[in-house]
Each structure stands twice: as structure tokens, then as C-alpha cells.
Amino acid sequence: MPAIYVHTHTVTSDETDWQGHANNVSYFHWLQDAAVDHSSAQGWNACRYKDAGIAWVARSHYIEYRAPCRAGEIINVRTWCASFRRASSVRRYRIMRPQDDVCIAVAETKWAFVDWQTGKPCRIRDEVSSTFDIVDAEMHDAV
């Protein structure tokens, strides 16, 4: 199972603004898609979380834009778990353009682990946390 997951995406024209750059909201979709796909690759898809009565919800996002990307460009969203605490996790991302190896953005999401029914934070189960490796890399490291 990959400690660092790579989600590949081709930027669509619907994801761009009037300047022809990918718009800010699109970046957040890409981050979420990468996180969900990474979790699924580790054996935890939406159905499994729901059946277990647990879920992840975003508490905060940070993103630093470094270069624009445009429709038709392929991007790789690299993501990894940076930490687990009692009821939360930090996930980091690097969005790269593989054609020229340019870093488009770096990002971080703080996720809360919650009870599916109540939406209240709950302890992250060992069966969940044990499926993810912690990668000790900062957002600015060459991951």
C-alpha cells in the first residue's frame, strides 16, 4: 500500500476561471479526490466507513499556490498522512505538473474523525490508523 499516494488528473475547461487558470475551488476538489482515493486504496472506501459508523470531515485547509495550471494539463496530486492524534489527522499534498516537474501548489488538510450518526469527534480506531503510514515530510520537502 502506498505511503505517498499519487492521484492523476487532467484539468478541464470547467475548472478554469476567466484568466484561463484553474480556479481556487478546483484545487480543493483535487485535494479531496486524492484523499478519498488514497483511503480507498488502503481499503477504507466510503461504504466501509459508513458500515463501521465512522467518517472523516475536514476541519481546515491550507493551500499555497506556486504556479498556474490550465485546461488540458495533467497534474499529479501527491498526498500522505503526516500525523494521527486521538481524533484527528493531518494530511499533506503537493500538486505537481509532471510535464516539466513544476510544483503547482502545496497544501494541508486537518481532518477530524467522527461518529457517523452524531457527527461528534471520536477516537480514531487502530484498524483505520494502522492502514496508513505516517510520512515525516514537510509540505516544502521534495516528496
Helix (H) or strand (E) holding 137: none
Q: In the Cβ-directed half-sphere of 96, how many Cα atoms lie within 13 Å?
A: 18
* Spatial CA neighbour of 38 closest among 65, 77, 12, 11: 77
Q: In the chain, which residue ranges form alpha helices assigned H by DSSP? A: 24-41, 46-52, 126-129
Chain segment 62-117, per-residue pLDDT in tens: 999 999 999 999 999 999 999 999 999 999 999 999 999 999 999 999 999 999 99
pLDDT value at residue 84: 96
pLDDT at 138 over 70: no
* Spatial CA neighbour of 56 closest among 108, 112, 110: 112
pLDDT at 41 over 60: yes
Please provide the distance, in angstroms rounded to a whole number, between the alpha carbons at the two ends of the chain.
Answer: 17
pLDDT value at residue 102: 97
pLDDT value at residue 136: 81
Q: Rounded mean pLDDT of 131-141?
A: 78
User: What topology is assigned to 5-129 in CATH?
Assistant: Thiol Ester Dehydrase; Chain A (3.10.129)
Cα 142 to Cα 38, 94, 113, distances in angstroms:
19, 9, 28
pTM, 2 dp: 0.92
CB proximity list for 50: less than 8 A, separation 6 or greater: 116
Sheet architecture: strand order including 54-65:
5-10, 74-84, 88-97, 102-115, 54-65
Q: Rounded mean pLDDT of 1-15?
A: 93
